[in-house]
Chains A and B, each alone.
Chain A
Amino acid sequence: MSSYYLTIIGTRDNPLYEVEFSSFKPNSSSTSSSASASSIPGRAQFAPDVREILPFIANSSLDIIDDSQWSTSNFNLGRVDSFYGLVVNAFITQGNVKFVLCYDNVGSGTNSKYDDNLIRQFFIDVNDLYVKCLLNPFYRVNDAIVSPEFDIKVKLLARKYF
C-alpha cells in the first residue's frame, strides 16, 4: 500500500494544510497476508525517520516547482522530483499556491501514467475545494486552512482516487 502526504503550500513557502493518508484500495499481493491485518485502511505507513522530514521534502521540491512552472502552461506540473524513493507530484494554482503530493511507490503495481492521471484529477478536485475555501470572506490568503469540512472533503477525494 502506498502512503501519501499532501500539503498545500502558500506563497511564503508556509504550509496551509497537510494530511497523510494511504491507499484505500486493497493491495492484490497482500490481501491475505498478516500485514493487512495490522494496518488500518487509509492510515499512512511512513517510517518515523521519513515522517519527520516529509514537510522538508515538500519544501525542497519548491525549488523545482518554481523552475518548472515557467516551462509548462498546465497547472498540473506532474512528477517534479524524487527523494530517496519518495516521488513528488505538484500542482500550482493561479494564486501561486502549490499543492505537493509526496508518496512512496511501494507496492503500486499500476503503471505510472495511470497514477499520474489519477493524481492530476485529484489535484483538480482539491483545487476546486481550495477555491471554495478562498471564497470565504473570513479567510485570508496564506492563512492555515483549519476547516474540518475541507479536511473531510479532501479525505473523501483521497479515498475516491487512491
Chain B
Amino acid sequence: MDYPKGLDPYTARQHLLHHTYSPLISIQSSLNSDILFQSILNNNDISTLQIFKPYGNNARYSIPNQSFKITNSQLITKSYPSFPVRFEPSLPELLSVYNTSSSSISQSNSSTTTTTSTSTTTNINNSTTPSGGQPLNQLFSISSLEVLLKHLSLTSHDKELYLAFYNKIITSNKIVPFETFNHPIAQIFIVDFENDSIESLRKMIVEFRNFSFPKFFQIDDLLIHTFILYDSNKFSTNDLFNFQNQIRSTLNINSSIIPIIQPLSNDSLVKLSIIENSTIEEDLQRIALQEQSSNSIPSTNYIQIPKSIDSIIRNKLFEFINKYLIPHMQTKIRLWDDQRLQPKKSITGRIFSVSRKLFNNNNNSNNNNNNNSDSNLNNSSNSNINSGSFNYNEHYYHKSSSEQIIRKLADWSLILKDFKYAYSTYDLIKKDYTNDRAWVYVASIQEMCIVSLLLAQTQEGNINTIDKNTLRRIRHDIIEPYIDNLSYTFKSRLNIKTYSLRTIIIIIELLLCISTAFNVSWFFNDLVERYLRKLIDEFDNHLSSSTPQAIRAVLFERLGYTLGKCTYISEVNLHYLNIDKFNQEKLPKSEKDEPENEEGYYHNPYKLNPTTSTSVTGLTRFRKSSIWYLLSIKQWIDLKRIKQIQYLLGNIRLIYNIDSLDNINNINNINWYDRNDLLLGFVKRYINEYETTTTSTA
C-alpha cells in the first residue's frame, strides 16, 4: 500500500541522524597533502577536505561487512551497520566564517538603525536581543533557501525534492554555545610523509592550539589525531612506524597511516558526490560559481577517484572511527557521568542545587538590574568572574561549568544512539537552565527532550506497543507545551525564528515516524497538520505570500502526505483498506449470481449499490489529502515544473480520475472536477497543452 507516494519518515529520521546528530570531525591538511591528492586526481581545484567529506557518510560509502560497536551507559554493546560522521574545516576556519558574517550583520544592523530608525521592515538577518547583548544569528536565511529550492526543483523532483528541502534545513555547521552537535569532537591533521616533517606538523598543532577558542568550547575534549599519507612504493612501513613513534613520543598524539599508491592507467574510477552534507550557503555559492564558469568548463557535482585509493580511505576511516573516535566519546561520557552527572543526581547534590538555586536567583536579579541600567560592561565582567553561571551578554555558559558539560554529555550520548539516557540527562539539566533564565539553552534543551524521546520510541528493536496513556503524556505534557514555549523563546525573546522552524520540521518527521511505527496516525494527525500549517504561515510571513513559492509547495505536499497516510483503522482491520479497489462501485448481486430475467425477480437498475470501501468510510483522509496536493500543484504550475506536477497528480488518483485527459473538452461527458473554472480542470488543460506542444515540437 504505497499511496500516497512521498518521503518515508524513516528515511527522514535516518537523514536527521546522519546530517545533524553525527560527530563533527574537523580536518586540517598540510599544503603538501593537498598537492599530493591534486596530482593523483589531476584536478587542481580539489582539497583534501573535499575528498574526505563524502566518506563521512559511511552508510553510502561503506566497506564490506562493516559494523560499528557502541557500548551504551548500561554497558550493553550493540553494533550498527553505519555510523556517519561529518568532515568540516578546522574550528578556527569555521569560526572565522561565522564571525565575519556576524560582524557584517551587526554592522549592517547598526547602520540600519541609525539611518532608518523609523523603518519597520524586518530583515531576517538582522537579529537583536531584547537584553541588548550580542545578537544571536539566524540558523539559515529563508530567502536563500527559497532560491536554492527553486533551483533544485529544476533538476530533482518526486519525493527527492522534499528530502532536499528537509536536508538543507537540518544541515548546518554553525557553531553555537547552546548545542554542541557542531562542536568538533575530533581534529585530524593530514600530512604527507614525503614532504612534511615532524616539525611542520608540530607547528600546525601549536598554531591550532594557540587559537583563542570561544569560552564555551573546551579544547581538552577534542580528540587530536594525525593521518599520514605516503607512497607505499617509495617508503617501507618501517619508516612509517618510526615516524609514528616519533609523533607519539614528541607530540603525544596518535596517528594512522594511509598508503597512497599512484594509480595505474587502467584502474577503475569511483564517483564521489561532493555535495554530501553541504549547507544552503555552500550550495548557493557552488551554483553561482558553476553558472559563471559554465561557458568554459562543464562542472559537475562529482569527482572521480581511483578505486584503490577509495577503498584505502574507506578502510582507514572505518578503523579510525572504531578504534579512536567511538572509544574517545565513550570514555568522555563515562568520565562526565561520574564527575558531573552522578553528584548532581545524588541526595547531597540535590540539596546543594536547591541552595544554589536560591543563591543564583539573587545573582540573576543583580544581573538583570545591571542590564536594565545599561551597564553592560559591568555585567559581562561579573559573569566572566563567576565562570559557573550564565553569561547573559553573550548567551553562553563557561566551558568548565557543569551546565555546559552535562549538555555536551547528553548530546554525545545522543550521537552514540543512547536516546533514553540522553533524554533523562536533558530532562535533568533543564531545570538548571530555567533557574538561570538561560532562555536559549532552555529552548534548545526542550527541543532535544522531544527529539530524544521520539528517537527512543522509534528506535529499531523497540517492539513494545505504546499505550494510550503514554501517548497522551508524550503529546500533552511534553510535545505541545515545549513546542509552544520554544517557539516563543526563539521567535519573540531572541528573534531567531529559523531555529524554531528547524525544530518543528524535525518533530513533524519524528511524529510521522512514530505514527507509522505504532499505527497511531489518528492520534498525532491533527498535531502534525497544525505544525505544518504553522510552518507555512511562518514562511509566508517572511516571503511574499502572493508570489508562487517552492517552500510552500513542498510543505503543501507534505500536508497531503500526512493526511493521506492517516487512518483511523485499527491494525487488525487494516486489510479492509484496499487501495486498488478503493471507491469502486460494488456490482449488484443480481448481476453476479443470478441469471437475468429470472421469474419472480425484479431487477431495479436505479438501485444504489455500496462502494467497495464502505467498511472504511470515514476512517481515511484521502479527500482531505487531495486538496493539499492540488494546492501544491497550483504552486508548481506557477513555477512551471511539469515533472513535479505529474508526480503529484499520481497522489490524487484515488479521488479524482486523472487519466482521462482527452475528454476534458467534451462538455457532456465531463466530471465535475474537470470544469474549466476549477483548479483541477485548469491543471489538466495545462498538462494537455504542454504535451501537445512538446509532441508537435518533437
- Measured CB to CB, the residues of A under 8 A from B are 11-15, 51-53, 55-57, 59-70, 83, 140-142
Q: Is B203 close to A, CB under 8 A?
A: no
The distance in angstroms between the C-alpha atoms of A99 and B258, with both chains bound, is 74
Per the 8 Å Cβ criterion, residues 648-678 of B in contact with A are 655, 672-673, 677-678
Neighbouring A residues of B446 by C-beta, 8 Å:
none
A59: nearest chain-B partner, CB-CB:
B623
Neighbouring B residues of A55 by C-beta, 8 Å:
672-673, 678
The distance in angstroms between the C-alpha atoms of A55 and B626, with both chains bound, is 12
Neighbouring B residues of A53 by C-beta, 8 Å:
627, 630-631, 678-679
Q: Is B174 close to A, CB under 8 A?
A: no
Neighbouring B residues of A64 by C-beta, 8 Å:
624
Interface-forming stretch among B131-139, B458-466, B612-620? B612-620
Neighbouring A residues of B618 by C-beta, 8 Å:
63, 65-70
B626 near A56 (CB under 8 angstroms)? Answer: yes
Known pairs A52-B677, A52-B679, A69-B618; A140 contacts B606 (CB<8 A)? yes
B630 near A63 (CB under 8 angstroms)? Answer: no
A sample of 10 cross-chain residue pairs with beta-carbon separation below 8 angstroms, ordered by A number, consists of A52-B677, A55-B678, A56-B678, A56-B679, A57-B627, A59-B623, A60-B627, A63-B618, A63-B622, A142-B608
A59 near B678 (CB under 8 angstroms)? Answer: no
A63 near B682 (CB under 8 angstroms)? Answer: no
Per the 8 Å Cβ criterion, residues 124-142 of B in contact with A are none
Neighbouring B residues of A13 by C-beta, 8 Å:
623
Q: Is B475 close to A, CB under 8 A?
A: no
A95: nearest chain-B partner, CB-CB:
B608
Neighbouring B residues of A68 by C-beta, 8 Å:
618
Could you tell me the distance in whole angstroms from the C-beta of B611 to the nearest C-beta in chain A? 8
A71: nearest chain-B partner, CB-CB:
B618
The distance in angstroms between the C-alpha atoms of A14 and B672, with both chains bound, is 7
The distance in angstroms between the C-alpha atoms of A53 and B608, with both chains bound, is 28
Known pairs A14-B672, A15-B672, A55-B673; A141 contacts B627 (CB<8 A)? no
Per the 8 Å Cβ criterion, residues 592-647 of B in contact with A are 606, 608, 617-624, 626-627, 630-631
Closest 7 CB pairs of A and B: A66-B618, A67-B618, A60-B627, A60-B624, A52-B679, A63-B623, A56-B627
The distance in angstroms between the C-alpha atoms of A142 and B619, with both chains bound, is 23
Neighbouring B residues of A60 by C-beta, 8 Å:
623-624, 626-627
Point out which of B606, B622, B627 has the most chain A C-beta atoms below 10 A from its C-beta: B627
The distance in angstroms between the C-alpha atoms of A68 and B624, with both chains bound, is 15
Neighbouring A residues of B682 by C-beta, 8 Å:
52
Q: Which of A51, A61, A67, A141 contacts B619 (CB 8 A)?
A: A67
Per the 8 Å Cβ criterion, residues 384-413 of B in contact with A are none
Q: Is B61 close to A, CB under 8 A?
A: no
B627 near A59 (CB under 8 angstroms)? Answer: yes
Could you tell me the distance in whole angstroms from the C-beta of A56 to the nearest C-beta in chain B? 5
The distance in angstroms between the C-alpha atoms of A60 and B606, with both chains bound, is 27
Convert B417-457 into 0s and 1s, putting 1 for each residue whose CB lies closer than 8 angstroms to a CB of A: 00000000000000000000000000000000000000000
Q: Which of A56, A61, A141, A142 contacts B673 (CB 8 A)?
A: A56
Count chain B residues whose beta carbon lies closer than 8 angstroms to a beta carbon of A. Answer: 24
- Measured CB to CB, the residues of B under 8 A from A are 568, 585, 606, 608, 617-624, 626-627, 630-631, 655, 672-673, 677-680, 682
Known pairs A63-B621, A66-B617, A142-B608; A56 contacts B672 (CB<8 A)? no
Could you tell me the distance in whole angstroms from the C-beta of A73 to the nearest C-beta in chain B? 16
The distance in angstroms between the C-alpha atoms of A64 and B677, with both chains bound, is 25
Neighbouring A residues of B677 by C-beta, 8 Å:
51-52
A11 near B608 (CB under 8 angstroms)? Answer: yes
B568 near A67 (CB under 8 angstroms)? Answer: yes
B620 near A56 (CB under 8 angstroms)? Answer: no
Point out which of B568, B585, B618 has the most chain A C-beta atoms below 10 A from its C-beta: B618
**Extra A-B contacts (7), CB below 8 Å, given A55-B673, A60-B627:** A14-B672, A53-B678, A56-B673, A56-B678, A59-B627, A63-B620, A83-B627
Could you tell me the distance in whole angstroms from the C-beta of B679 to the nearest C-beta in chain A? 5
Neighbouring A residues of B568 by C-beta, 8 Å:
67
A53: nearest chain-B partner, CB-CB:
B679
B682: nearest chain-A partner, CB-CB:
A52
Could you tell me the distance in whole angstroms from the C-beta of B560 to the nearest C-beta in chain A? 11
Neighbouring A residues of B624 by C-beta, 8 Å:
60-61, 63-64
The distance in angstroms between the C-alpha atoms of A51 and B429, with both chains bound, is 52
Neighbouring B residues of A61 by C-beta, 8 Å:
624
B605: nearest chain-A partner, CB-CB:
A140
The distance in angstroms between the C-alpha atoms of A69 and B673, with both chains bound, is 25
Neighbouring B residues of A140 by C-beta, 8 Å:
606
Neighbouring A residues of B626 by C-beta, 8 Å:
56, 59-60
Could you tell me the distance in whole angstroms from the C-beta of A162 to the nearest C-beta in chain B? 23
A68: nearest chain-B partner, CB-CB:
B618
The distance in angstroms between the C-alpha atoms of A113 and B621, with both chains bound, is 28
The distance in angstroms between the C-alpha atoms of A142 and B611, with both chains bound, is 14
A14: nearest chain-B partner, CB-CB:
B672
B607: nearest chain-A partner, CB-CB:
A141
B563: nearest chain-A partner, CB-CB:
A63
Neighbouring B residues of A63 by C-beta, 8 Å:
618, 620-624
B619: nearest chain-A partner, CB-CB:
A67
The distance in angstroms between the C-alpha atoms of A140 and B682, with both chains bound, is 30
The distance in angstroms between the C-alpha atoms of A71 and B304, with both chains bound, is 63
Known pairs A53-B679, A69-B618, A141-B606; A62 contacts B673 (CB<8 A)? no
Could you tell me the distance in whole angstroms from the C-beta of A52 to the nearest C-beta in chain B? 5
Known pairs A63-B620, A67-B568, A67-B618; A56 contacts B630 (CB<8 A)? yes
Point out which of A14, A63, A142 has the most chain B C-beta atoms below 10 A from its C-beta: A63
The distance in angstroms between the C-alpha atoms of A62 and B623, with both chains bound, is 7
B672 near A141 (CB under 8 angstroms)? Answer: no
Could you tell me the distance in whole angstroms from the C-beta of A142 to the nearest C-beta in chain B? 7
The distance in angstroms between the C-alpha atoms of A53 and B630, with both chains bound, is 9
B606: nearest chain-A partner, CB-CB:
A140
Could you tell me the distance in whole angstroms from the C-beta of A138 to the nearest C-beta in chain B? 12
A140: nearest chain-B partner, CB-CB:
B606
Could you tell me the distance in whole angstroms from the C-beta of B671 to the nearest C-beta in chain A? 8
Could you tell me the distance in whole angstroms from the C-beta of B275 to the nearest C-beta in chain A? 36
B680: nearest chain-A partner, CB-CB:
A56
Could you tell me the distance in whole angstroms from the C-beta of A12 to the nearest C-beta in chain B? 8
Neighbouring A residues of B672 by C-beta, 8 Å:
14-15, 55
Q: Which of A59, A69, A141 contacts B608 (CB 8 A)?
A: A141
Neighbouring B residues of A56 by C-beta, 8 Å:
626-627, 630, 673, 678-680
B672: nearest chain-A partner, CB-CB:
A15
The distance in angstroms between the C-alpha atoms of A11 and B630, with both chains bound, is 23
The distance in angstroms between the C-alpha atoms of A140 and B678, with both chains bound, is 26
Neighbouring A residues of B678 by C-beta, 8 Å:
52-53, 55-56
Neighbouring B residues of A59 by C-beta, 8 Å:
623, 626-627, 655, 673
